[in-house]
Amino acid sequence: MIMLGKIYNWYFRKSALPRWAVVIFDVVLCFFSALFVIWLRHSAQDILNEWSLLFPSLLAICAANVVGFRVFRTYSGILRFSQFVDLLRIAYSTLLAFFVYLAFNYAVINYGWENVFYAFTGRKLIAIFGGILTVLCISRIIIKMVFENALVGDHARRTLIYGTHAGAIAITNEALNTKPVKFVIDGYIGDSKPHYKERLMGRHIYSTREDLAAIIRKRKIEAVMVSPLKHDLFLKNRKLQDLFIEAGLKIYVAQSTEKWDKDGETQMKVSMREVKIEDLLPREEIKVDMDSVGKLLSGRKVLITGSAGSIGSEMVRQIAIYHPAEMMLIDQAETPQHDIRLMMKKDYPDILAHTVVTSICKQDRMEAIFSEFRPDYVFHAAAYKHVPMMEDNPSESVQNNVWGTKVIADLSVKYGVKKFVMISTDKAVNPTNVMGCSKRICEIYVQSLDKAIKEGKIEGVTQFVTTRFGNVLGSNGSVIPLFRKQLAEGGPLTVTHPKIIRFFMLIPEACKLVLEAGTHGKGGEIFVFDMGEPVRIADLARRMIQLSGAKNVEIQFTGLRDGEKLYEEVLSENENTLPSFHEKIRIAQVRSYEYEDAEREIEELNDIAAGYDDMATVAKMKHIVPEYISKHSKYEVLDKDSTVA
């Protein structure tokens, strides 16, 4: 028994038996199954009496089957993953072996070889080869069943696969090949009309036109895996998503797909991951012309501020792909900046990347960096962005966001930067909070600077481009990571207001649009991104609760925070848009400002902010941006005072 256990463990821990072992296994089965059929038709004594003739004949039968194995390559598959096509190969192989031996048996009878080999009748040969076919097929089925049951983990989930083609087969094989097996594949889901006799890999194929909810309950399904070929269709099918989520299923989608040719056949391997809420938000894929970006940045010197933030770090990754000559990465957060440093050394060792820990407000430090590095392109992502924090710290918001932008913009002009791309926010439109207003002032300054250069009032070559978009999914401090943390803690999920809505965009997509806008911008534009459909935050919270499978998790409404809007805008009432080079990017037509006025106002604002007088600082911000009307904030009193005046 100990030896059997060792053999059992050895077999099931191997990735696959070698082909010679499969052939030997099948030859042994052929020998004994043929002997068994002969024994059924003869007594044991008859077999012993004729053994001198039967033994060579049995060897000849095995040799005929080896010919069939070689022609139809029955040994090429993995036994425990046998499929219908493998059984079909065995059938063809056995049929060929039958005809080969039939010809040999004819020679035995007609050329006087009966004294060496046993001469079988036609019926006996049909019975023998029928028995061989049966035993070979049953052996595959038994091995497959034993393997599937042997390595199933204690917590394996009964699973359906959405899809019925190569991707679904690859997922099944991958699920079975994982040790211990975590998913028991119960069946498949197709989109065609239901057909109760239709099967794949021995499992039933259900239809989306059937009552899937009832099937899931009856079969006690716990998870569903989406085939790569069905991925896009599934993400657009809200009804099917809701069905799976409301049934409490864990949903898995393809993370990566590999394809290769083996023995003339296309093989596929699919790696799965659990679906994220970001996957299920109603959005269209945005296609970006990254070739133009590559031509612009390849071999150039690029400076990125805020390089350790959510947007900045993704900008670093995407720009590094195009092999700039050097990269200057600036951020004041030490630990995340260290992570970026390690990432660059590991993933892009050929790029000379300088990681600097400092504040963009330090003019002397920034001057030294620009003087030594001499960047060709600047991507300005550094900013304080949390609305409630900036409501409590308006002076810091001005010094970092506004003055820091002025420092970087002025140095870009001084040191001949070709293009300066600033990342702004939809909160800059009709701002209701300090953070949004600070970003609007940044927009005003870089636009006025670009205008002054074009008019010849300032000597320079720099083109200033602004990009404006909403919330990015999964960014530091955004709502989705917060909800995930609250779910992990058992809830409740906190939402400020039942009707609050936001626009969302994936970080990689947002960065690609920034890069393309920066590439095609001529200077002076504010590019507005099409953010798709707005999402109600309360609905997002409910969907995340359902997706997690958590029970009894409540949503708690906490009230709007200081400076928070129910909805964000990407354009003000006084702004119109023009089409651009990309259907998802528009150009905002905004009021222009004179550089002298903008510079004077910002210098005065920075002097006031240096005194840390919150009311005076915000009052000056409202003077610069008259449309800044505070909401749910202590600064509302300033709006009342201006109305009275």
Check pLDDT > 70 for residue 153.
no
- In angstroms, the CA 309 to CA 475 distance is 8
Nearest to 30 by CA among 67, 2, 1, 5: 67
3-state secondary structure of 295: helix
410 half-sphere exposure, CB direction, 13 A CA radius: 17
pLDDT for residue 101: 83
pLDDT for residue 564: 67
Q: What is the mean pLDDT of the chain?
A: 83
Whether residue 302 contacts residue 377, with contact meaning beta carbons closer than 8 Å, is answered with yes
Over residues 36-53, mean pLDDT: 79
β-strands 463-469, 419-425 pairing: parallel
Q: Kindly list the domain boundaries of the chain, sorted by start residue.
A: 2-147, 151-275, 290-472+506-531+570-638
- In angstroms, the CA 54 to CA 37 distance is 12
**Are both 151-275 and 290-472+506-531+570-638 of the same fold?**
yes
Q: What is the fold, at CATH topology level, of the domain defined by 151-275?
A: Rossmann fold (3.40.50)
Check pLDDT > 90 for residue 368.
yes
3-state secondary structure of 634: coil
Residue 202 DSSP one-character state: T
pTM above 0.75, yes or no: no
Which conformational region is residue 557 in: left (phi greater than 0), alpha (psi within -120 to 50 degrees), or beta? beta
Most confident of the ranges 426-430, 444-448, 566-570, 585-589: 444-448
Give the architecture (CATH level 2) of 290-472+506-531+570-638: 3-Layer(aba) Sandwich (3.40)
Q: State the Cα torsion 426-533-531-431 to the nearest 10°.
A: 0
3-state secondary structure of 160: strand
Over residues 589-607, mean pLDDT: 93
Over residues 266-287, mean pLDDT: 73
Task: Give the helix/strand (H/E) hosting 587.
Answer: strand 585-589
- In angstroms, the CA 54 to CA 241 distance is 64
- The share of the chain scoring above pLDDT 90, in percent, equals 31
3-state secondary structure of 472: strand
384 half-sphere exposure, CB direction, 13 A CA radius: 26
Task: Give the helix/strand (H/E) hosting 556.
Answer: strand 555-557
pLDDT for residue 194: 65
